[in-house]
């Protein structure tokens, strides 16, 4: 449980920082770079979520399919 809360905070932190970097880059006039940063941040968070979903699915499998 403790680990899950940490992960949520981590994802929230990444979101905030990426949003700030996006704004800074947009002010500099490098909009394309800003969009790339957002996309990369999204992919990184997606990988973290996929890893957690994987453990969740393994749990469900082990409960219902009696592996």
Q: Which DSSP symbol is given to 1?
A: -
**Would you say 47 or 60 has its CB closer to another protein?**
47
Decide whether 17 or 60 has the Cβ nearer to another protein: 17
Site residues for another protein per CB under 8 A: 6, 10, 13-14, 17-18, 20-21, 24-25, 27-29, 44
> Which is nearest to 8 in space by CA: 16, 60, 20?
16
Round to whole Å and give the CA distance between 31 and 28.
8
CA–CA gap between residue 11 and residue 51 (Å, rounded)? 13
Nearest distance from C-beta of residue 56 to another protein, angstroms: 22
Q: Quick one: 48 or 55, whose CB is closer to another protein? A: 48
């Amino acid at each position: 449980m403790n680990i899950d809360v940490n992960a949520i905070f981590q994802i929230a932190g990444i979101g905030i920082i990426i949003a700030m970097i996006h704004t800074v880059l947009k002010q500099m006039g490098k909009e394309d770079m800003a969009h790339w940063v957002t996309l990369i941040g999204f992919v990184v968070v997606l990988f973290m979520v996929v890893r957690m979903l994987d453990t969740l699915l393994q749990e469900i499998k082990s409960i219902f399919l009696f592996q």
